[in-house]
Amino acid sequence: MNSYRNSKYQATTNIVLCMVLIVMFASCEFSGRGLKTHDFPKPVDTHTKAIERQEKRSYHTEAGLTADNRFDAARLNNFVQINDSSFLAEIRPENQPVNNSAWYAFKLWAEDSATRYITLKYDGGKHRYHPKLSDDGENWLRLNDDALIYDSDSINVTLQVEIGPDTLWIAGQEIQDTERVHQWWEGLNGQSFVTIDTIGRSALGRKMLFVELSNGEQKDNDVIVILSRQHPPEVTGFLAMKAFVESLIRAKKLEAFLENHTVLIYPMINPDGVDMGHWRHNSGGVDLNRDWAYYRQPETKLVATHLVDWVNELQANVLLGLDFHSTYKDVFYTLDENEIQTKTIPWFRNQWFAALESKIENYLTNEKPAGLRTPVTKGWFYSQFGAEGITYEIGDDTPREDIKRIGKISAEQMIDILMKGNE
Ligand SMILES: [Zn+2]
């Protein structure tokens, strides 16, 4: 009898316990808006790895030519003279394995003016970025094609350049180090609907920048998130992000758009990697755009936590994440609709791409859909928020005027399409 009563009691207790657990789980699901970890099909080890730090110095040669890497975003691992007019600039990545983003940046000057031959000698990659030249670090010109000679192995190249007493900057792309990016970010301050802020510091103490476009009443709003510069050399993607954000700020419909929307911008996610002249990784030797699962690196953790907290505090709803990058040609990496049904605006992407084609002369959208694989932001926006995620890639050599035009029109069309909704 006793044991019957006991087991009945036990059963009741179990049922109650189960119900409590179910309620807890359900409420967890319901309010499951905290930062989640995600098991992507192809996980990546993003624990901190060793990096090689380049020695910051001047290299003086007997031929009277000096090379120098003592500035932010520089990359020059060694510099040696071959003969009176030929020199080797050795370029290495911060660590390996690394995807081929062979960034270089250094200054040269000489006692006398003459034509010199500078070979970019890569170790751990091969030539990718067509050289840009500058005499002030601000205004850049593309080296003439006929002044660039490819080695027979297609790994190294030799530049034919005039070098004299005035400093000549040579870099893979226009230099956009943290100081220059800070100037841009500070310049946004004071414009209508713009708030600038920092969300913390990178591993080595550099500011993590944030920009909010809102009318001050963000509660329950739909949110668009913009990310940039996870990968240091991807300057063309950064230039597109700048054009995109500046066009949003200038858009005639911005005020109306901000009635129901807020735009959150993280313009420089890897400031340490940028200033250290890295090919791809942060100061922890990790590709940040593979860390959107367990947030092992401080920069991804800061951005992800800040965004999720912001959204939860204002009971807002992330619709869309745009992450700006660079690759060999313009491309939009999207989530494959056959594998993934985003919950927010699955209709947006096709309308947006069609609008770009109709508004930009001779423009064909190059869309590459794929399912969830590695822990990149595109998949994270979906896994974390059910949102649409698009990687906005600009070609390394896309003309800068085109980058501005595409950035502007894609911003204006995004506003138009999101305001109209799915008609
Ligand atoms: Zn990238």
Kindly give the distance from the C-alpha atom of residue 13 to the centroid of ligand 1, in angstroms, as a whole number.
Answer: 54
- Tell me the CA end-to-end span of the chain in Å, nearest whole number: 68
Kindly give the distance from the C-alpha atom of residue 234 to the centroid of ligand 1, in angstroms, as a whole number.
Answer: 6
Kindly give the distance from the C-alpha atom of residue 133 to the centroid of ligand 1, in angstroms, as a whole number.
Answer: 23
| % of the chain exceeding 70 in pLDDT | 92
Q: pLDDT (tens digit, 9 = 90+) per residue, 285-325?
A: 999 999 999 999 999 999 999 999 999 999 999 999 999 99
Kindly give the distance from the C-alpha atom of residue 374 to the centroid of ligand 1, in angstroms, as a whole number.
Answer: 13
Kindly give the distance from the C-alpha atom of residue 327 to the centroid of ligand 1, in angstroms, as a whole number.
Answer: 7
Burial state string for 1-19 with b = 16 or more CB within 10 A and e = fewer than 16? eeeeeeeeeeeeeeeeeee
Q: What are the residue ranges spanned by the domains of the chain?
A: 58-171, 178-420
Residue 8 has pLDDT above 60, yes or no: no
Q: For residue 372, what are the contacts with CB-CB under 8 A and spacing of at least 6?
A: 40, 41, 335, 339, 340, 379, 382, 383
Kindly give the distance from the C-alpha atom of residue 231 to the centroid of ligand 1, in angstroms, as a whole number.
Answer: 5
Write down the H helix ranges in 31-154: none
pLDDT the model gives residue 187: 98
pLDDT the model gives residue 6: 53
Estimate the crossing angle of helix 400-420 against helix 348-359, to 10 degrees. 130
pLDDT the model gives residue 423: 72
Mean pLDDT along residues 115-129: 98
CB 378 within 8 A of CB 335: yes
Kindly give the distance from the C-alpha atom of residue 376 to the centroid of ligand 1, in angstroms, as a whole number.
Answer: 10
Q: For residue 402, name the pLDDT band (cuts at 50, 70, 90).
A: very high
Mean pLDDT along residues 75-91: 98
Kindly give the distance from the C-alpha atom of residue 294 to the centroid of ligand 1, in angstroms, as a whole number.
Answer: 19
Tokens 């050599």: give the residue. Answer: 397
Residue 29 has pLDDT above 70, yes or no: no
Kindly give the distance from the C-alpha atom of residue 237 to the centroid of ligand 1, in angstroms, as a whole number.
Answer: 8
Residue 31 has pLDDT above 60, yes or no: no
Kindly give the distance from the C-alpha atom of residue 375 to the centroid of ligand 1, in angstroms, as a whole number.
Answer: 13
Kindly give the distance from the C-alpha atom of residue 350 to the centroid of ligand 1, in angstroms, as a whole number.
Answer: 23
Kindly give the distance from the C-alpha atom of residue 324 to the centroid of ligand 1, in angstroms, as a whole number.
Answer: 7
Kindly give the distance from the C-alpha atom of residue 77 to the centroid of ligand 1, in angstroms, as a whole number.
Answer: 23
Kindly give the distance from the C-alpha atom of residue 98 to the centroid of ligand 1, in angstroms, as a whole number.
Answer: 12
Kindly give the distance from the C-alpha atom of residue 325 to the centroid of ligand 1, in angstroms, as a whole number.
Answer: 4
pLDDT the model gives residue 10: 58
Kindly give the distance from the C-alpha atom of residue 315 to the centroid of ligand 1, in angstroms, as a whole number.
Answer: 30
Q: For residue 16, name the pLDDT band (cuts at 50, 70, 90).
A: low
Q: For residue 26, name the pLDDT band (cuts at 50, 70, 90).
A: very low
CB 239 within 8 A of CB 191: no
Kindly give the distance from the C-alpha atom of residue 144 to the centroid of ligand 1, in angstroms, as a whole number.
Answer: 26
CB 342 within 8 A of CB 387: yes
Kindly give the distance from the C-alpha atom of residue 23 to the centroid of ligand 1, in angstroms, as a whole number.
Answer: 42
Kindly give the distance from the C-alpha atom of residue 333 to the centroid of ligand 1, in angstroms, as a whole number.
Answer: 11
Q: Which residue has the higher pLDDT, 2 or 381?
A: 381
Kindly give the distance from the C-alpha atom of residue 321 to the centroid of ligand 1, in angstroms, as a whole number.
Answer: 15
Mean pLDDT for the chain?
A: 93
Kindly give the distance from the C-alpha atom of residue 42 to the centroid of ligand 1, in angstroms, as a whole number.
Answer: 18
Kindly give the distance from the C-alpha atom of residue 193 to the centroid of ligand 1, in angstroms, as a whole number.
Answer: 29
Structure token pair of residue 78: 């060694």
Burial state string for 142-162 with b = 16 or more CB within 10 A and e = fewer than 16? ebeeeebeeeeeeebbbbebe
CB 292 within 8 A of CB 321: no
Q: For residue 15, name the pLDDT band (cuts at 50, 70, 90).
A: low
Mean pLDDT along residues 136-165: 97
Kindly give the distance from the C-alpha atom of residue 287 to the centroid of ligand 1, in angstroms, as a whole number.
Answer: 9
Q: Which residue has the higher pLDDT, 362 or 306?
A: 306
Kindly give the distance from the C-alpha atom of residue 230 to the centroid of ligand 1, in angstroms, as a whole number.
Answer: 6
pLDDT the model gives residue 21: 46
Kindly give the distance from the C-alpha atom of residue 323 to the centroid of ligand 1, in angstroms, as a whole number.
Answer: 9
Q: For residue 13, name the pLDDT band (cuts at 50, 70, 90).
A: low
pLDDT the model gives residue 343: 83
CATH of 58-171 given 2.60.40.650, 2.60.40.3120, 3.30.70.100, 3.10.129.10: 2.60.40.3120
Q: For residue 12, name the pLDDT band (cuts at 50, 70, 90).
A: low
137: left (phi over 0), alpha (psi -120 to 50) or beta: left
Q: Among 294, 198, 201, 249, which residue's Cα sits nearest to residue 408?
A: 249
pLDDT the model gives residue 32: 65
CATH of 178-420 given 3.50.50.100, 3.30.420.40, 3.40.630.10, 3.30.465.10: 3.40.630.10
Kindly give the distance from the C-alpha atom of residue 229 to the centroid of ligand 1, in angstroms, as a whole number.
Answer: 7
Kindly give the distance from the C-alpha atom of residue 134 to the centroid of ligand 1, in angstroms, as a whole number.
Answer: 25
Kindly give the distance from the C-alpha atom of residue 280 to the centroid of ligand 1, in angstroms, as a whole number.
Answer: 8
